[in-house]
Structures are given as structure tokens and as C-alpha cells.
Amino acid sequence: MKILALDHVTINCPDIAAAKRFYEEVLGLSCLPAVDLGDHVLHYYPLAGGVRLELIAYKNPQKTIVAGNTDTGVYRHMALRVDDLAGLYAAFQAKGVPINLPPTWISQLKATVMLAADPSGVELEFIQDTAGEG
């Protein structure tokens, strides 16, 4: 058995409307048709390489857990490669998206990275290869 590819990343959303606005209006992703599984609904967004982002909306209230970005034993973030980090940063500032780390050159990674939070509190890392900076 071998792992062939990453299929999807899932986020359980306490406010699906806010999450959908963020991923559609701020990040410009297109939502695929929703899949109703009875007690929850799946909202898929295609990403590069055949990977999908899956937002889950539960029909009944669920327990909300808040973990800090340095807490261990929990999911930390997903990283998305982008082509215009400065433009994304400006859009996030204009829309009031929480920024955990503004665009920062990380010489060890040979990339500029930014950390932000989505409406569900999930940290997102945005990476732009910018060789030669720093």
C-alpha cells in the first residue's frame, strides 16, 4: 500500500455562512455542489492538484474546541501556495481578516509566508516563493 495523493482537508465550521463567505469572497474559491449526509452537509472547494477543501456544516450544535497555534497534539494549519502574497495581505487587511503573521521572508524556506485565521479560527499559511529576498 502506498499513499497516492492528498484528497481533501476538512474544517468543521461553527458558522458555515461566514466560512463560505471567506473562502468564496475573500479567497475567490468556487464551491462545488453540496453533499447532504443527513446530520451534516459537506461543501467542497477544488484546490490545485486535485485536492479539495471540505467545509462541514453540522445540522445540530456541536462542541466548539479552541486550540492555540502552538498547542501540541492538534492540527496546526494548512498551507496554500499563492502568486500574489502582497495583494492577498492587502485584501485581508481591507476585509478585517485576522493576521497572525504578516508577510515575512523566511530564509530557511526561501519563501515569504503569511499566517491568518479563517472564520472558524483555523490558521492558514500562505506561501509565495520569492527567491532572492531577505
Domain parsing of the chain, residue ranges: 8-58, 77-129
Domain 77-129 has CATH 3.90.45.10: no
Q: What is the pTM of this model?
A: 0.85
Determine if residue 96 is left, alpha or beta; phi over 0 gives left, psi from -120 to 50 gives alpha, anything else beta: left
User: 14 near 59, Cβ under 8 Å?
Assistant: no
Q: Is 25 helix (H, G, I), strand (E, B) or coil?
A: helix
pLDDT (tens digit, 0 to 9) for every residue of the chain, 134 residues total?
Answer: 887 788 999 999 999 999 999 999 999 999 999 999 999 999 999 999 999 999 999 999 888 887 777 777 777 789 999 999 999 999 999 999 999 999 999 998 889 999 999 999 899 999 998 754 54
Q: Please state, as a whole number, how many other Cβ atoms lie within 10 Å of the Cβ of residue 4.
A: 6
Topology alike, domains 8-58 and 77-129: no
- Number of helices (H), then strands (E), in the chain: 2, 8
Residue 90, number of CB atoms within 10 A of its CB: 11
CATH topology of domain 8-58: 2,3-Dihydroxybiphenyl 1,2-Dioxygenase; domain 1 (3.10.180)
